[in-house]
Amino acid sequence: MDNVYAIIPVNQFAHAKTRLSPFLSPKEREHLLKAMLKDITNALKPVVDKIVIISKDEDVLSYARELELETIVENDNSNLNKALKQAMKWCRTKTRKVVILPSDIPLIGKTNIELLIKQSKKLDFIIVPSKGGGTNTIIMKPLAIDMKFEGFSFEKHVNEAYKKNLNPMVHDSFFMALDVNTPEDLGEIMLHGNGTETKTYLESLGITVESMHGHERLKVIR
């Protein structure tokens, strides 16, 4: 068994990306998340054997099926870490490695994700940090470590890997570290996201970006 499955947990569309409010309306934030999911899955489909979406939201699961993705209904009284454990249990007998990643890194296609997955065949544990001390991708055997998302999860996940006698390899990638949460993040997509569904959608909203020299590096306008 040499398969690699990607696991993407997705929250409710109706509550997507609240930190982008009021810059984007609830419906616009939903469309943004759909565009980002499409970019991520388009990048992954050529290099993994299956993409699994886990969510409690039927709208999310329905959209995932439109994209021809595998779906898992998240258990009640769950949270992000429990959902990932549930998904990995489902994957455990089907795949050698899992790629765990969020639904808001639309520039992943700008990286050599294929090379990273090929490297995982020889490496125990690959981890990609996000901005602010978080984790944006882990590649490992299903259930190799306990998930520690929330807060400064990058250091927690590295420590968990060491506890399990794994040798973590850190892959530092600007494009994979960029998760979209703020208007300034949207500006980065406008600068670097040529060819993505996400940038095309933001352009349809009339969003533009200007350089600044103050506390914020980018001024995002609509």
Domains of the chain in start order, with CATH, are 4-179 (3.90.550.10)
How confident is the model over 150-161, as pLDDT tens digits? 899 999 999 999
Q: Find the mean pLDDT for residues 18-30.
A: 96
Structure token digits, residue 106: 């639309």
Coil, strand or helix at 204: helix
Q: Find the mean pLDDT for residues 10-29.
A: 94
**What percent of the chain has pLDDT above 90?**
93
Quick one: angle between helices 197-204 and 183-192, nearest 10?
Answer: 120
Query: 215: Cβ–Cβ under 8 A, 6 or more apart, which residues?
Result: none
How confident is the model over 25-67, as pLDDT tens digits? 999 999 999 999 999 999 999 999 999 999 999 999 999 999 9
Is the Cβ–Cβ distance between 85 and 78 less than 8 Å?
no
Above 70 in pLDDT, residue 1? no
At 17 the pLDDT is 94
* Range 68-75, long-range pairs (CB < 8 A, 24+ positions): 69/41, 74/9
